[in-house]
Amino acid sequence: MIQPASAAKYPLKPGWRLPLPSRPFVRFLGRRLAALILLGVGITFVAFVLTELVPGDPAAANLGQRAIADPAAVQAFREHYGLDKPLPVQYVVYLEHLVNGDLGQSEQSHRAVRADLAEYVPATAELAVTSILIAYLLGITLGVISAVRRNHLADHVLRVVSLGGISMPTFWLALVALYIFFFKLGWVPGSGRLDPGILAPPHVTGLFTVDALFSGQFDVLTNALQHLILPASVLAAYNVGLLTRFTRSAVLEVINNDYVQAARAKGMPERTVILRHVFRAALPPIITVGGLAFANVMTGTVLVESIFAWPGIGQYAFHSATTLDLPAIMGVSLFVAVVYIVVNFTVDILYGVVDPRIRVA
């Protein structure tokens, strides 16, 4: 658990300090890992129960109009995916396989769910990381500018722009962006991760930009970056707006505090005051929102992926849900849980990094 320690014991000093691992930290890490396991089990249980409650049949959703009328085909399908067993047995079998890292076989792709995730997660991660970097860079910068220039023209403009970023539906923005920057201006290529006919670089990480760099295929790297710019920017729009508004609010909370005034009175340059005293003090809420924004981007890209034909986890989750593909649904659910837990964990650690008064207890 994160608790603010005594401010007197840990006086706030300028500068960045990385806390070294300590016994409480190890306990904290252990608790988080235990939570991860418990949450994972809980999620698999809830997903199993909910899938059973849905008045649909995976066989009906996956077999064709003729095959579903053939008892032999239906039986073969049920046996193959273990659906012929009672639900509690299915669940126990699933957990047994899960312990061995086996997430089952997808009914839609006919492949191991683990293999599917290994293919789709890097695609989404590449998009999400690029998107969130854009969002952090723009959102935080604009938020600080907006706060510093409070009630000036720049502030008014940025508030309207950030509101627009939050308000615009992503699918609409994606189509408009594709129309303008691809169709009208021709600045960026259209959909997909690479141009047609360009083969993916040899698989190392699954991130095409990184793999192309590793293999020295700079033409592929350039092409991958061209394809990445537009969807990542569209995906970033919401978070730019969100981070701008949160950063502005957080900076305004502290910008007139006594220690800031004291720093100014000591004759510190305004840039130093803003970056080392104001911005740093404003960081914890920004980190919280930024972390959640990253988790949201990692798990909520379905519309952008659909419009830009981006083969990521969003499209996989959507197809899994519409075909009642239970193993895939479970795999995606676990992935989402892991993302949120890791992001929250990282955010907790970052609290301690940016504010030495906060330590694990």
Query: Which parts of this chain interact with another protein (CB under 8 A)?
Result: 54-57, 60-61, 63-70, 72-73, 76, 79-80, 108-111, 119-120, 144-145, 148-149, 175, 178-179, 182-183, 186-193, 195-200, 222-223, 225-226, 229, 269-271, 274-275, 306-309, 311, 315-316, 322-324
Q: Which is nearer to another protein, 313 or 360 (CB)?
A: 313
Q: Which is nearer to another protein, 33 or 93 (CB)?
A: 93
Place of tokens 């239906």: 74
Neighbours of 34 (CB within 10 A): 10
Note whether 9 and 55 are within 8 A (CB): no
Q: Which is nearer to another protein, 307 or 343 (CB)?
A: 307
Q: Which is nearer to another protein, 228 or 347 (CB)?
A: 228
Cβ 175 to another protein, closest distance in Å? Answer: 6
Q: What is the DSSP string of 52-112?
A: HHSS--HHHHHS-TTGGG-HHHHHHHHHHTTTTS-HHHHHHHHHHHHHTT---B-TTT-SB
Cβ 69 to another protein, closest distance in Å? Answer: 5
Note whether 90 and 282 are within 8 A (CB): no
Q: Which is nearer to another protein, 32 or 192 (CB)?
A: 192
C-alpha count within 13 angstroms, C-beta hemisphere, residue 98 = 18
Cβ 125 to another protein, closest distance in Å? Answer: 15
Q: Which is nearer to another protein, 1 or 185 (CB)?
A: 185
CA distances 275 to 68, 198, 283, Å, are 65, 44, 10
Cβ 297 to another protein, closest distance in Å? Answer: 19
Cβ 183 to another protein, closest distance in Å? Answer: 5
Note whether 148 and 274 are within 8 A (CB): yes
CA distances 21 to 18, 32, 254, 329, Å, are 9, 15, 30, 36
Cβ 215 to another protein, closest distance in Å? Answer: 16
Q: What share of the chain is helix, strand, coil (3-state, %, to 5)?
A: 70, 0, 25
